[in-house]
Amino acid sequence: MLESVDRDDYTIATYYVEDNLPGYEFIDHLAMIQAMALEGSTGTWEKIKDDTSEVREALSAKVVGYYEVPAPPGSKKAVVQLAFPTKTFENNINIPMIFMSFAGNCFIYPEKLKLVDVSFAKKICDNFMGPKFGIEGTRKILGVYDRPLSLHIIKPKMGMTPEQTADQCYQTALGGVDLIKDDEMTSDPFNSNYIDRIKHVMAALEKAEKQTGKKVIYFCSITDDVDKLPEKAKKAIEAGANGLLIAYSSGPSILRVLAEDPEINVPLFLHPSHMLASLDRIAFPVFTKICRLSGADFMLSPTMWSSTPATGLEESYRTAHISVAPMFNIKRTWPMPAAGMYPGLMEVLYSEYGNDQVIPAGGGMLGHPDGYTAGAMAWQQAIDAVVKGIPLIEYAKVHKELRRAIEKWGVLERPHTPWGRYSPTYLPKPIKDL
- The neighbouring-strand residues paired with 358 are 149
Catalytic, out of 132, 271, 331, 399: 271
pLDDT for 425 beyond 80:
no
Residues 186, 291, single domain; the answer is: yes
Residues 167, 109, single domain; the answer is: no
Please give the full DSSP string across 9-76, using - where no structure is assigned: TEEEEEEEEEEE-TT-S---HHHHHHHHHHHTTT--SS--TTS-HHHHHHHS-EEEEEEEE---TTEE
Give the total number of structural domains in the chain. 2
422 found inside a domain: no
430 found inside a domain: no
The string of pLDDT tens digits covering residues 271-290 is 998 788 899 999 999 999 99
Q: So what's the pLDDT on residue 58?
A: 86
Kind and range of the H or E run holding 358 = strand 358-361
Asked about 331 being catalytic, the answer comes back as no
The string of pLDDT tens digits covering residues 188-209 is 999 999 999 999 999 999 999 9
pTM for the predicted model, two decimal places: 0.93
**Confidence grade of residue 424 (pLDDT, cut at 50, 70, 90):** low
Residues 324, 247, single domain; the answer is: yes
**Confidence grade of residue 59 (pLDDT, cut at 50, 70, 90):** confident
The string of pLDDT tens digits covering residues 9-18 is 999 999 999 9
Q: How is the beta sheet containing 112-119 ordered, strand by strand?
A: 62-69, 75-85, 10-20, 112-119
121 found inside a domain: yes
Residue 187's CATH number: 3.20.20.110
**Confidence grade of residue 49 (pLDDT, cut at 50, 70, 90):** confident
Asked about 271 being catalytic, the answer comes back as yes
414 found inside a domain: no
The string of pLDDT tens digits covering residues 313-342 is 999 999 999 999 999 999 999 999 999 999
The string of pLDDT tens digits covering residues 88-112 is 888 889 999 898 889 988 888 888 9
pLDDT for 428 beyond 80:
no
Residues 84, 156, single domain; the answer is: no
Buried-exposed string 415-427: b where 16+ CB fall within 10 A, e elsewhere: eeeeeeeeeeeee
Catalytic, out of 114, 122, 155, 214: 155
Burial of 371 by CB count in 10 Å (0-12 exposed, 13-18 middle, 19+ buried)? Answer: middle
The mean pLDDT of 377-385, rounded to a whole number, is 98
* Domain residue limits at 335: 134-409
432 found inside a domain: no
* Contact between residue 66 and residue 128 where contact means Cβ atoms under 8 Å apart: no
Nearest-CA neighbor of 283 among 70, 79, 51?
A: 79
- Kindly state the greatest CA–CA separation across the chain: 82
pLDDT for 48 beyond 90:
no
Q: So what's the pLDDT on residue 431?
A: 77
